[in-house]
């Protein structure tokens, strides 16, 4: 029995680190929000969750989230499994904030090390046309063209022709 104790301790010491080493994952996104996207735009994203960055993970539930720059949660989207192992689908809507951060919780809780993967903030276009250049509605542009044409016709009509000027 005394001879087995050192052997058991050696086996436990070797196996313990390898058991703890299995608890991390990476995520890959098929699309990402980018600067200038319009608020309210739908963006379909496939999230691929890979154990150790290599093996596709089935049975996890990744969550895609938007936060404002202060960290307040704006929207959360739970991934649904697709027909491919390790690939989960979400369809997000770009929030109407000026600047947003997005993150993906990988859902890999098997070893207690599920991670939230964070990304750089992006600037969102509010879509309100708030630029400084004035924009006329299409009807206003058409009306301006018609009035310009009528004005040119009236000026031409009231001007004496060159032939009439020579006869004088």
Residues recorded for the chain? 168
One-letter-per-residue 3-state SS of the chain: CCCHHHHHHHHHHHHHHHHHCCCCEEEEECCCCCCCEECCCEEEEEEEEEECCCEECCCCCCEEEEEECCCCEEEEEECEECCCCCEEEEEEECCCCCEEEEEEECCCCCCCCCCEEECCCEEEECCCCCCCCCCCCHHHHHHHHHHHHHHHHHHHHHCCCHHHHHHC
Q: What is the pLDDT of residue 129?
A: 55
Same domain, 111 and 154: no
Same domain, 30 and 85: yes
Looking up tokens 């929030």 gives 95
Q: Kindly indicate the confidence band of residue 134, based on its pLDDT and cuts at 50, 70 and 90.
A: very low
pLDDT one-digit tens code per residue, 78-125? 999 999 999 999 999 999 999 999 999 999 998 888 999 999 999 999
CATH of the domain at 64: 2.60.40.10
Q: What is the Cα 88 distance to its own chain's centre?
A: 16
Phi and psi angles of residue 153, each rounded to the nearest 5 degrees, phi first: -65, -45
Q: Kindly indicate the confidence band of residue 156, based on its pLDDT and cuts at 50, 70 and 90.
A: low
Same domain, 103 and 41: yes
Residue 100 belongs to domain spanning: 23-125
Tell if the pTM clears 0.75, that is, is over it: no
Q: Kindly indicate the confidence band of residue 151, based on its pLDDT and cuts at 50, 70 and 90.
A: low
Report whether 110 contacts 49 (CB < 8 A): no
What's the domain count of the chain? 2
Same domain, 38 and 61: yes
Same domain, 84 and 42: yes
């Amino acid at each position: 029995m005394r001879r087995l104790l050192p052997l058991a301790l050696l086996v436990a010491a070797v196996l313990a680190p390898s058991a703890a080493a299995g608890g991390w994952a990476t995520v890959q996104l098929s699309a990402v929000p980018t600067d200038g996207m319009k608020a309210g735009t739908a963006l379909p994203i496939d999230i691929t969750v890979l154990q150790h960055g290599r093996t596709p993970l089935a049975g996890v539930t990744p969550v895609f989230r938007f936060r404002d720059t202060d960290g307040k949660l704006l929207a959360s989207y739970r991934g649904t499994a697709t027909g491919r192992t390790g690939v989960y689908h979400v369809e997000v809507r770009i929030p109407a904030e000026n600047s947003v951060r997005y993150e993906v919780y990988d859902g890999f809780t098997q070893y207690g090390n599920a991670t939230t993967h964070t990304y750089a903030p992006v600037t969102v276009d509010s879509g309100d046309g708030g630029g400084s250049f004035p924009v006329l509605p299409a009807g206003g542009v058409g009306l301006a063209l018609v009035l310009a044409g009528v004005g040119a016709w009236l000026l031409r009509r009231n001007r004496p022709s060159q032939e009439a000027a020579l006869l004088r």
